[in-house]
Structure 1
Amino acid sequence: MMTLKLDRHIAILGGSSGIGLATSRLAAERGARITLGGRDQTRLNAAAAQTGAMAIPVDAQDVSSLAEFFRAAGPIDDLVITLTRRGHRSSRDADHLGLADLAGSFAGKAIATLRAVGESLDALSEDGSITLAGGVTAQAGFAGTAEPAAVNGAVEAAVAPLARELAPRRVNAVSPGVIATEWWDSLGEHRDAALGTFAQRTPLGRNGRPEDVASAILALIDNPFITGVVLPVDGGIRLT
């Protein structure tokens, strides 16, 4: 069983939807105090209302905005970063990479994630934790995913050196597989067919739910003897 204390303060960047929102809900159910950060004030307020969280707007690609977020959040025990570039589908064949917005892909996730880590340290407890979100493409060999694999790989590769440098703070990451969230809405009418194909391919026979990843995130937060770990939460699809 999770043992999150009633006075534990968790800040979640990217907490207005998907995995971040699911993490907020689950953590609140287990007694944690939550501060959510996101760019869309309307979505952020709606998410905060579901869990009684404090909502602070933040642009994670802007260092000054990140610094203000952590000043406003105050002392925190744990930081969860589930940033993604909304509305951007980065998977593509290799011969189209020359036309891809590679800089934007890295800025929206990998760079924003690392900047958030750096700006959080004055607010983060000396025995606190940081949990990042990479992605299964970093650990698999799926054709057409060189771009997200590189971006997620950058996030996941940072875990070990950060864990060593920031100790006794703990640094871990989850590596989600295909999770049925709003991110897939960018596929429009092809969304359900694509998700169906992935579900058939996954050894467990289904796609993930945000709650599956949220549970893994809280397990990493809760265990005081886990650090430097990238935990796959993908139903085994990386094995296919």
Structure 2
Amino acid sequence: MTDTIIIGGGSGMGLALARTLLAQGTDVTIVGRSADRLAKARTELERPGHGRIGTITADMGREEDVAELFARVEKVEHVVVTAADATGVYGPTADLATATARTLIETKLLGAWLVAKYAAGRVTGSITYTSGINAYRPNGANTIMAAANGALASLAYGLAIELAPVRVNVVSPGWVDTPIWDQLAMDKQAAFAELAERLPARRVGAPDDIAQAFSALMHNGFITGTVLHVDGGHRIT
């Protein structure tokens, strides 16, 4: 049996979770679209005395890739999805290309559904998805991302019933310092500093903060159909 598959494990929050689990002796397979990024992550993660690390190149927005991924796995205890592509999705709805919106939905929402479709019968413990603060605090320039992230909660509620006793949950991060920010045309450090002043936690998140949240949902057998908010208090400010 494979211990954990992390789709999107080559960078950011997924990479942090892989590092955490491997240090605990868990065997982890990281999945992503970029073979080069996966190879770099594997080199970084391999450590004597830690769990075994494997890599698989796949695009969760492509049904054939997801089907092939799970066809290679007889059983897996946990599946975590952190993959995201925010390229071009921010801005007024009137200015957003429809093709860009479709690509986001195909990856973020339909891709999540495809993971459940093909993991069913193979996953034994849990599936955990990643949404985000914009589902709960939209700002007028992230509407399609907010919609996709918000829909993941409803997907998890339905799958928690359909796939039971496999548990299905969602982690909803706030602003986290990950490479995804490099895709956005903004002064990241200035934005982080401004937000940190308003957050009750007085800082933006780190990938390890989110890794700890994933681990909690994966290993608590009485949590299912739940959205865990890890946002430094962003929803209440």
Shift of 1:199: 2.1
Which amino acid is 2:137 matched to? Answer: A
Shift of 1:191: 2.3
Q: Which runs of 4+ in 1 moved over 4 A?
A: 97-100
TM-score, normalising length: structure 1:
0.89
CA–CA separation in structure 2 for the residues paired with 1:133 and 1:220: 12
Query: Which residue does the alignment assign to 1:18?
Result: 12
Aligned residues: 231
CA RMSD of aligned residues (A): 1.9
CA–CA separation in structure 2 for the residues paired with 1:186 and 1:119: 30
TM-score, normalising length: structure 2:
0.90
Shift of 1:188: 5.2
Distance 1:94 1:189, change over 3 A: closer
- Contiguous gaps of at least 5 residues in structure 1: 1-6
CA–CA separation in structure 2 for the residues paired with 1:166 and 1:51: 32
Distance 1:99 1:223, change over 3 A: closer
Query: Which residue does the alignment assign to 2:50?
Result: none
- Contiguous gaps of at least 5 residues in structure 2: 47-52
The 10-residue stretch of structure 1 (194-203 or 172-181) with the greater mean CA deviation from structure 2: 194-203
Query: Which residue does the alignment assign to 1:3?
Result: none
Q: Secondary structure at the match of 1:60?
A: coil
CA–CA separation in structure 2 for the residues paired with 1:112 and 1:11: 15
Shift of 1:89: 4.3
Residue in structure 2 matching 1:51, options 41, 45, 48: 45
The 10-residue stretch of structure 1 (191-200 or 164-173) with the greater mean CA deviation from structure 2: 191-200
CA–CA separation in structure 2 for the residues paired with 1:73 and 1:49: 23
Query: Which residue does the alignment assign to 2:36?
Result: 42
Question: Is 1:104 matched up with 2:103?
Answer: yes
Question: Is 1:191 matched up with 2:188?
Answer: yes
CA–CA separation in structure 2 for the residues paired with 1:100 and 1:203: 38
- Contact 1:16 1:47 (C-alpha < 8 Å) held by counterparts: yes
- Contact 1:35 1:73 (C-alpha < 8 Å) held by counterparts: no
Residue in structure 2 matching 1:165, options 162, 176, 189: 162
Query: Which residue does the alignment assign to 2:78?
Result: 78
CA–CA separation in structure 2 for the residues paired with 1:147 and 1:201: 25
